[in-house]
């Protein structure tokens, strides 16, 4: 009989992420209009949750001002793996972590958890390339932003 090895830290044997994989959380609620005709949150809403969780966190930390920031993050790549359905009126805890910080880019990973559950309903990522807000040319990640992002690794 072969013994199953333990799951890597932050993942369950199912391969789904657990809450301890994420250093920061932001709570959001689903809305009535988020459900599609199949009775669950439509896939595009998951991407909205990812974007909202990360950008709201940056705003809360004083690292992003939608009206005046000279540098902004543009999404250049994104993906999502769905495990279980979310639906209205679920409360969603979005776990946020940073997988990689480059010169001008950051890969964010977000796990969406139904409130009170330890296994992610969905796991996604997106890559921001930080650019000058006017020229849209890549610019290095600012030192204050980089310092904060290090806390999310």
C-alpha pair distances (Å), 100 with each of 23, 37, 77, 86, 133:
14, 37, 13, 28, 22
Q: Is the pLDDT reported for residue 74 higher than 60?
A: yes
Kindly state the average pLDDT of the residues 106-130. Answer: 97
The predicted structure's pLDDT at residue 3:
47
For residue range 15-61, list pLDDT tens digits in order. 789 999 999 999 999 999 999 999 999 999 999 999 999 999 999 99
The predicted structure's pLDDT at residue 6:
41
85 in Cβ contact with 117 (< 8 Å): no
Which domains are delineated in the chain?
Answer: 19-150 (3.10.129.10)
Helix (H, G, I), strand (E, B) or coil at 22: coil
């Amino acid at each position: 009989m072969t013994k199953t090895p333990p799951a890597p830290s932050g993942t369950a044997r199912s391969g789904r992420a657990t809450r301890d994989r994420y250093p920061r959380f932001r709570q959001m609620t689903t809305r009535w209009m988020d459900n599609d005709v199949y009775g669950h949150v439509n896939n595009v809403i998951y991407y909205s949750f990812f974007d909202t969780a990360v950008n709201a966190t940056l705003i809360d930390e004083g690292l992003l001002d939608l009206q005046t920031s000279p540098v902004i993050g543009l999404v250049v790549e994104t993906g999502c793996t769905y495990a279980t359905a979310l639906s209205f009126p679920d409360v969603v805890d979005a776990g946020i972590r940073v997988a990689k910080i480059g010169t001008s880019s950051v890969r964010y990973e977000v796990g969406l958890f139904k409130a009170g559950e330890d296994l992610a309903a969905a796991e996604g990522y997106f890559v921001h390339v930080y650019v000058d807000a006017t020229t849209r040319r890549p610019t290095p990640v600012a030192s204050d932003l980089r310092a904060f992002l290090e806390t999310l690794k």
